[in-house]
Amino acid sequence: MTSLSEEQRIMRQSCRDFVDDVVIPFIRGNWQREWDMRPEGRLPPEILEGADKVGIRTLGVPEEFGGVELEKGTETQTFAIIAEEIARGDSGLSDKLVQIWKVSVLLRNLAPRHLQERWFPRVVNDPQFLLAHCLTEPRGASDRWLPYNVPEAAMQTKAVKANGGWVINGRKQFISNGYDAGLFVVYANTNPKVGMLQGTSSFLVPRETKGFTVARCNETLGCRFMNNGEMVFEDMFVPDDHLLVQDSALGSAGIYFRPGKIIQAAKNLGVGVRAFEATADYVQNYVQGGRILIKHQAVALRMADMATKLEAVRALLNRAAQAVDDEAPEAETLCNMAKMFASEEVMKVAQHAVELHGGNGIMLDFGIEKILRDAVIFLHMDATSDVSKFKIVKNMFPDTAGKYAGPE
């Protein structure tokens, strides 16, 4: 995006103030909180309350339900601006919030009106209320992204039609907000005879549904203020109206995935910007060999490399975000490129940051190693780098690129 609208500029500024005044001081002053093994003890409620006050928690929720509805033609670009700003403060906090935005977009497009009337006010009225999107299973993830459109790759989680609704059995893993969300979108196989594009359905599942259990909170390497979880469904009955999309749910989820990839890349960029800002400050103040670090030429070279990588990520991200908002034909390819490229480049930026901090870069209380841990997560979230590259080539060469699986 070349220039920001008035709305975007104001939102970015209030978000930036919140991050500088509240989030970064909290993270710096409470670095041990990340390692609290009681997931609910990590992030104090005031942080989500603060996000609520500056109006960035309920982006994507329709205004009629009290949410913050953005200008439609630039919605994805605004998501990117805000996701980056929050991740500059803390990537896990950004994860927590963006799931609300992404799932809200899905619900406002797919959920029946009476369920929107029931759930959106709950999201709006409770600053701690979180949403989750459950696709990944112990025996299936990357094949769903490609996707391998053959029956043997179908989801193991199954939904079977019953009187007045559906009975779901199975389990999901690695789910963002999975440990503490109040409402889940769950994907399940509804037709084992066909490929997953024709036989996967999506359902709305409230946390209190009988047969629903949160099995564990995953202890992650980075983004630790977002509680990633695993859940089990045992003869879980959901009524007919909780079916969001029957059979073709993976195709309809594009509405979630395309802005989702942009948001991933934007959060990732925020981690890189934090790495750069902290390092720029360090090398202009820390003295070694009688001179501040930046006067040593090898240090200057690394700083130039960091800055160039971040600008390249930003340029691609802006182009891809605009393509998603414009519903351009190249949007699918570009948003995969942006997500993949950001994860690989910001990883290198984070490595420079740690190396330029020397021993301090490794010490937990100094706060720089956290950037590296947060950066590494992006290589795996929303598809691995390798699978993202396959998707790019499949999009560009649909007639000749490989299927990568299925019958010979």
Query: Quick one: which segment of 105-113, 114-122, 220-228, 289-297 binds ligand FAD (CB under 6 A)?
Result: 220-228
Residue 339 vs 357, nearer CB to ligand FAD = 339
- Please tell me whether residue 382 binds ligand FAD under the rule CB under 6 A: yes
Residue 51 vs 387, nearer CB to ligand FAD = 387
Are 227 and 95 in contact by the 8 Å Cβ rule? The answer is no
Out of 19, 100, 123, 175, name the contact with ligand FAD by CB under 6 A: 175
Closest separation between CB of residue 275 and ligand FAD, Å? 19
- What are the phi and psi torsion angles at 206 (to 5°)? -70, 145
CA–CA distance, 118 with 103 (Å, rounded to integer): 15
Closest separation between CB of residue 259 and ligand FAD, Å? 14
Task: Give the count of beta carbons closer than 10 Å to the beta carbon of residue 121.
Answer: 14
Helix (H) or strand (E) holding 183: strand 183-189
Closest separation between CB of residue 141 and ligand FAD, Å? 3
With 0-12 CB in 10 A as exposed, 13-18 as middle and 19+ as buried, what is 325? buried
Residue 27 vs 283, nearer CB to ligand FAD = 27
- Please tell me whether residue 35 binds ligand FAD under the rule CB under 6 A: no
For residues 168-206, one letter each, b for 16 or more C-beta atoms within 10 angstroms of the residue's C-beta and e for the rest, the string is bbbbbbbbbbbbbbbbbbbbbbbbeebbbebbbbbbbbb
Residue 167 vs 186, nearer CB to ligand FAD = 186
Are 392 and 261 in contact by the 8 Å Cβ rule? The answer is no
Query: Quick one: which segment of 10-18, 105-113, 133-141, 319-327 binds ligand FAD (CB under 6 A)?
Result: 133-141
Are 345 and 312 in contact by the 8 Å Cβ rule? The answer is yes
CA–CA distance, 264 with 84 (Å, rounded to integer): 9
Residue 50 vs 260, nearer CB to ligand FAD = 260
DSSP characters for 204-256? Answer: EEETT-TTEEEEEEE--SS-TTS-EEEEEEEEEEEEGGGEEESSBHHHHTHHH
Closest separation between CB of residue 79 and ligand FAD, Å? 16
* Residues numbered 145-174 forming contacts with ligand FAD, rule: CB under 6 A: 145, 174
* Residues numbered 49-78 forming contacts with ligand FAD, rule: CB under 6 A: none
Out of 86, 97, 100, 134, name the contact with ligand FAD by CB under 6 A: 134
Nearest Cα neighbor of 229 from 182, 168, 190, 268 is 182
Are 70 and 59 in contact by the 8 Å Cβ rule? The answer is yes
Closest separation between CB of residue 359 and ligand FAD, Å? 28
DSSP characters for 377-407? Answer: HTTTTTS-HHHHHHHHHHHH-TTTS---SS-
Helix, strand and coil in the chain, % to nearest 5: 55, 15, 30
Closest separation between CB of residue 146 and ligand FAD, Å? 6
Out of 133, 242, 309, 352, name the contact with ligand FAD by CB under 6 A: 133
- Please tell me whether residue 354 binds ligand FAD under the rule CB under 6 A: no
Closest separation between CB of residue 270 and ligand FAD, Å? 15
CA–CA distance, 180 with 182 (Å, rounded to integer): 7
Rg (CA), the chain: 21
**Residue 200 β-bridge partners:** 189, 248
Map residues 224-263 to x or -, x wherever contact with ligand FAD holds by CB under 6 A: ----x-----------------------------------
Query: Quick one: which segment of 17-25, 45-53, 105-113, 129-137 binds ligand FAD (CB under 6 A)?
Result: 129-137
Closest separation between CB of residue 150 and ligand FAD, Å? 13
Q: Catalog residues that contact ligand FAD under the rule CB under 6 A.
A: 133-136, 141-142, 145, 174-176, 220, 223, 228, 377, 380-384, 386-387, 404
